[in-house]
Structure 1
């Protein structure tokens, strides 16, 4: 079932676990991840980027079709929208969440732009994620891993001023492949968790280490982004299979299974395995003006 990202991260935040937000760049990724979620009864978030979607409207319809056929909650977040227009286009296309990244701007400019997007997105029930501090690149980790951390005082003020649903924080992770060993500032993360009233998000989950991810999800991280590890899992499975001749017909199955097993692993280390829920609609609820449907936990 297709849901807002807020529904997923709010539950995770309240119950003290994390949820993987995995790259859903194409149909293979989508089928693999939803298959993993259904087999483990886990909630799932997809992320994708503006520059990987020739037609965001078609893309959202595809994801929503698969999600609506699934028995687990699935959300879709437009990650790192580069400008205001792209974020609004993502809302129009059907993303259930948008991440507006103005982390390179001064605090006041960042807060001003994010607050305006929150006003627009919330009017149509779309979740908003923003970033404070700046998560850099793994290839430049020697520098980026030591700078632009999220300040807890600023984070508390930012959340209060903007009305965002979740906050991406910079505590020592980086995007892409690391050159160096990731060092997470858990003391900073714990303080951010204490000071902020919304779920926290960890970007740069790929290559950050299972123990770091698990510990982060025990200290306020409700969403962990994984992109490169998804692609790597498909590639590794293909290399291991060493397909040739007619076995090449197994090409897509091999990649799909490789990604599926990796996503299952993410459910384990973030703590959300078995945390899915289902929504059972009641007949005539809207017509009778009654409140929402019945909800039950899948055991």
Structure 2
């Protein structure tokens, strides 16, 4: 069932766990992401980053149809929206949530632009995520990430003035793959302080790939309620293809191999983040759900 990210994250916040938010580029990995969430009986938030040049109206309607086929909660979120027009297009396309990313703007301008879209989105029943501080790229970790962390007191004011539903915070992670041998340094004390001063507001971690199970589990326990994951899922899919025998007719297994690698890695994160069996509509895999027979091998 399609829900807003707010509905998912308010529950995760109350019960102290985090929900995986996998990046989906195509029908293929969108189906697999929902399938794995069904198996884990977990909510899931599908991330749609328009850097992949989607027809957002077509893709949005398709994702909504997939979400409506299952009884677990599924949110569809436009990720890292950088302009007003695209945000409106995503709302019209039926996405249930948007991210308004103005984190590279001056603080006051960030507030003004986010606040403007919050009014529009909330009028349409769409939830809004914004970012304070700035989560940069892992390939330029020291410059992008270590110098742009979220200030707790500013986070409190930002939430109050914008009316957002969840806040992405910069606490040491980065987008993409880190340089060889490098690992992010997570500022757990900063996270605890942000959670405290914002009165336990739902918080989001960008750059979940490469952070490590121990750190991800810890941030989920300390107040992160949504973890964005992309690079690590795509890397797992590629590695599965590399490890397979795709000679001759083995090439026909390409899409199955992509699904296998992506899905297996994503399944791991539901357990790490604590969202397994947290779907509030109980689901049994061997029963009919809206006309779809769900088994361990089903791709919806």
TM-score (norm. length: structure 1): 0.91
Distance 1:271 1:210 in 2: 11
The offset of 1:144, in angstroms, is 2.2
Alignment correspondent of 1:207: 210
After TM superposition, list the pairs within 5 Å mapping 1:69-218 onto structure 2.
69-179=69-179, 180-197=182-199, 198-218=201-221
Verify the 8 A CA contact 2:183 2:210 in the aligned structure 1: no
Verify the 8 A CA contact 1:199 1:221 in the aligned structure 2: yes
Alignment correspondent of 1:68: 68
Distance 2:97 2:116 in 1: 15
Distance 2:117 2:148 in 1: 23
Distance 1:54 1:60 in 2: 9
The offset of 1:242, in angstroms, is 2.5
233, 248, 253: which is aligned to 1:250?
A: 253
Verify the 8 A CA contact 1:171 1:189 in the aligned structure 2: yes
Alignment correspondent of 2:236: 233
Aligned-partner SS, 1:21: strand
Aligned-partner SS, 1:278: coil
Distance 2:36 2:51 in 1: 26
Verify the 8 A CA contact 1:172 1:185 in the aligned structure 2: yes
Structure 2 unaligned runs (5+)? 284-300
Aligned-partner SS, 2:222: coil
The offset of 1:261, in angstroms, is 0.8
TM-score (norm. length: structure 2): 0.91
Structure 1: 4+ residue segments shifted above 3 A: none
Deviations 1:237-294 (A, max 9, x none): 11111211122222111111111111110101111011112299xxxxxxxxxxxxxx
The offset of 1:174, in angstroms, is 0.5
Distance 1:239 1:42 in 2: 30
Distance 2:53 2:143 in 1: 31
Alignment correspondent of 2:13: 13
Deviations 1:159-205 (A, max 9, x none): 01111000000000001111222000000000001111420000000
After TM superposition, list the pairs within 5 Å mapping 1:268-287 onto structure 2.
268-278=271-281
**C-alpha spacing 1:279/1:6, structure 2 compared with 1 (3 Å):** farther
The offset of 1:235, in angstroms, is 0.6
Deviations 1:193-249 (A, max 9, x none): 111142000000011111111100111100000011121111111111121112222
Distance 1:223 1:126 in 2: 17
Verify the 8 A CA contact 1:171 1:185 in the aligned structure 2: yes
Verify the 8 A CA contact 1:145 1:182 in the aligned structure 2: no
Distance 1:249 1:86 in 2: 36
Which sits farther off after the overlay, 1-10 or 182-191? 1-10
Distance 1:69 1:232 in 2: 28
Deviations 1:58-77 (A, max 9, x none): 00111111111122111111
Which sits farther off after the overlay, 86-95 or 201-210? 86-95
Verify the 8 A CA contact 1:45 1:74 in the aligned structure 2: yes
Aligned-partner SS, 2:185: coil
Distance 1:64 1:206 in 2: 26
Alignment correspondent of 1:283: none
